[in-house]
Structure 1
Amino acid sequence: MPLDGKVAIVTGAGQGLGLAYARQLARQGACVVVNDVDGQAADDAVAAIEAAGGRAVAVVAPVGPTATAQALVTEAVSRFGRLDILVTNAGILRDAVLWKMSDDEFDAVIDVHLRGTFTTVRAAVRHMRQAGEGGRVICVGSPTGQRGNFGQTNYAAAKAGIVGMVRTWALELERAGITVNAVVPVAATAMTSTIPYFAAAVRADSRGEPVPAFFRHDLGFGTADDVTGLVAFLASDAAAAVTGQVVGVGGDRIQIWTHPEAALTAHHEGGWSYDTLAAAWPTTFAGALQQVGERFPDLPEAFRPAS
């Protein structure tokens, strides 16, 4: 198995995508530290991994605080002797439009997603660098962080920030042989179950039925297990040359997201005044303006929610 002898930490691994990542890493041979704030969910995840022949241990604590990050690393090393892989998956939602979002709603999401990713990665790479054997860091992003989404100021900021940190860390950790990548998953989870557009796919998954091809192929939307192959690959030696990348995954689809690049470059001798911009904008710049938010094709009639 490609991850034999490796040790992984997965945050937010008590359910959903995090649980799917932890079980896949264990199936590929890794010992797994399962982190979650829900003690019962964490214990159940460990039991499921062990029942399938894997090795796992639970650490029940919220991500964000430095103490939690250090506790995760300490548990991995004390129980399994090393640390090779970190998957930062833990997250929460506190959705509200900008003018209704409270300080607490903003801070809670930033603390778990952004600060939690920072503190956990920092603790992990301190150990990995000292051990001198390289490592794999996989941070979980979102389409919202790439394009924005109505009512998710806090979540969009956190997920965009994670991608910015991933690109920076890839540069800083290259000499240590530690790769850092972001995964952008799209799957039937608790977070997507309330979106009417995906209702037919989520319903099929909950019933144990195949997700319809329209969702799997056209939208790249499938099950949590569809995402786990990419995580296992990025955690393996086969991905030693892959770093600083943002990879979308869901259903039957894989996407490499581009790093931000200028969509258009234009020069005007002496600089751009208001008058020159106003004159040139409609013909020179307007055609290069970028899309915001996700735009989905019309649902086939068979999958439309009842009105």
Structure 2
Amino acid sequence: MRFNKKVAIVTGAGQGIGFEMARQLAMEGAAVILNDLDESLANTAAADINANNGICRAMPGDSSDTAFIQQMVDTAVSDFGSLDIVIANAGITLFGDFFTYTPAAFNRVMQVNLGGTFFLAQAAANQMKGQEKGGAILFTSSVTGHQAHKDLAAYGMSKAALEMLAKNLVIELSPYRITVNAVAPGATLTERTMDDPTYEKTWSDLTPMGRPATTNDIAQAALFLVSDHARHITGQSLVVDGGWTSISPSPY
């Protein structure tokens, strides 16, 4: 029970990697605010966790909206007494050819992936700073922030920026014993990626370890970084990709 009596917020957690992070936090004792833009997904995910003896409150809403971000932080404190862990997992992927990529698509990717993460970290850090007991903030980056991937210029740019944000915030947050790190998943089997019947075979062939990641693989790395076992790790980005970024073959 690494997270007994801890309080956490996880955004973009209605399914996939975010849900598994939230689920494992709750199973190890944390009270979790679970966010997703999709109200049905958020409510179903929270109900699943609660049905398995976890403590979880669904908060559906736009994680890039600053008023809603503050509402999540305030709710964590009012419902559970404090805020100890924040995982800014919400993000969107809008594929598109660089030569025709639209300002609307670019701005939405930056608003969600960068703006939502930046202002959630800000709101969380202000709360943690006042509590005077430290805390842990984690960003979900991507291997596309490390290696080029066709039609993902804006997305990859946003993920690389998150890792620089984690590094930069070390200056601001370390005096308050708040760690800030990033986890960078590679190809991962989720509800979304499994809609492609070729996904698992393709990425099994391209990944040195012979398979894409599971959501558990990513969640285990994430939970380590927000646990007390990682209290002296900050400003770092942990790639979880089965070795893909070492050789970086692209899918056909």
- Length-normalised TM-score, structure 2: 0.91
Task: Give how far 1:156 is off.
Answer: 1.1
Shift of 1:95: 0.9
Aligned CA distance change for structure 1 residues 220 and 185 (closer, same or farther; 3 Å): farther
Tell me how far apart the structure 2 counterparts of residues 226 and 241 of structure 1 sit (CA, whole Å): 22
1:198 positional shift? 3.4
Q: Does the 8 A contact of 2:77 with 2:83 survive in 1?
A: yes
The alpha-carbon deviation at position 19 of structure 1 amounts to 0.5
Instruction: Answer yes or no: is 1:166 the counterpart of 2:157.
Output: no
Structure 2: runs of 5 or more not aligned: none
Alpha-carbon deviations, 1:55-87, whole Å to 9, x = none?
A: 010111111121121011011001111100000
Q: Work out which of the residue numbers 210, 220, 245 in structure 2 matches 1:229.
A: 220
Mark the CA change 1:216 to 1:4 in structure 2 (over 3 Å): closer, same or farther.
farther
SS of the residue 1:175 aligns to: helix
Is the 1:188–1:201 contact (alpha carbons within 8 Å) kept by the matching residues of 2? no
CA drift at 1:168: 0.4
Q: Which runs of 5+ in 1 are unaligned?
A: 203-211, 258-290, 299-304
The one-letter code of the counterpart of 1:57 is R
User: Equivalences for 1:44-55 in 2 at 5 Å?
Assistant: 44-55=44-55
Matches within 5 A, 1:25-36: 25-36=25-36
Q: What is the letter of the counterpart of residue 226 of structure 1?
A: D
- 8 Å CA contact 1:76, 1:83 repeated in 2: yes
For 1:101-120, what aligned pairs fall within 5 Å after superposition? 101-120=101-120
Give the match for residue 249 of structure 2.
Answer: 295
Describe the SS at the equivalent of 2:222.
helix
Aligned length: 251
CA shift, 1:140, in A, is 0.4
Is the contact between residue 91 and residue 113 of structure 2 (CA under 8 Å) also seen in structure 1?
Answer: yes
**Structure 2 counterparts to residues 1-307 of structure 1, below 5 A:** 1-186=1-186, 187-190=188-191, 192-193=193-194, 198-200=199-201, 218=209, 221-250=212-241, 253=242, 294-295=248-249
Could you tell me how far 1:51 is from its partner in structure 2?
Answer: 1.1
Aligned CA RMSD, in angstroms, stands at: 2.5
Corresponding residue SS for 1:111:
helix
Letter in 2 for 1:189: T
SS in 2 for 1:12: coil
Indicate conservation of the 8 Å contact 1:145/1:159, yes or no.
yes
TM-score relative to the length of structure 1: 0.76
Whether the aligned pair in 2 keeps the contact of 1:184 and 1:246 (CA below 8 Å) is: yes
Question: Do 1:247 and 1:254's aligned partners in 2 also have CA atoms closer than 8 Å?
Answer: no
- The answer (yes or no) to whether the contact 1:84–1:128 under 8 Å persists in 2 is yes
Contact 2:142–2:185, Cα closer than 8 Å, also in 1: yes
Contact 2:3/2:227 (CA < 8 Å) preserved in 1?
yes
Contact 1:12–1:37, Cα closer than 8 Å, also in 2: yes
Q: Percent identity?
A: 35
Aligned partners of 2:7, 2:211: CA distance in 1, in Å?
A: 30
Deviations for 1:259-284, whole angstroms, at most 9, x for unmatched residues?
xxxxxxxxxxxxxxxxxxxxxxxxxx
Cα gap change, 1:232/1:169 in structure 2, threshold over 3 Å: closer, same or farther? same
CA 1:215–1:144: 2 relative to 1, 3 Å: closer
Residue 262 of structure 1 corresponds to which residue in structure 2? none
Q: Distance in 2 between matches of 1:196 and 1:164?
A: 35
Distance 1:177 1:119 in 2: 19
CA contact (8 A) 2:207 2:243 kept: no
Structure 1 residues 201 and 147, CA, compared in 2 at 3 Å: closer, same or farther? closer
Taking a change above 3 Å as real, the CA distance of residues 25 and 48 of structure 1, as seen in their structure-2 partners, is: same
Instruction: Give the whole-Å Cα distance in 2 for the aligned partners of 1:95 and 1:171.
Output: 34
Q: Which amino acid aligns with 1:199?
A: E
Deviations 1:27-47 (A, max 9, x none): 111110000111111111111
The structural deviation recorded for 1:191 is: 5.2
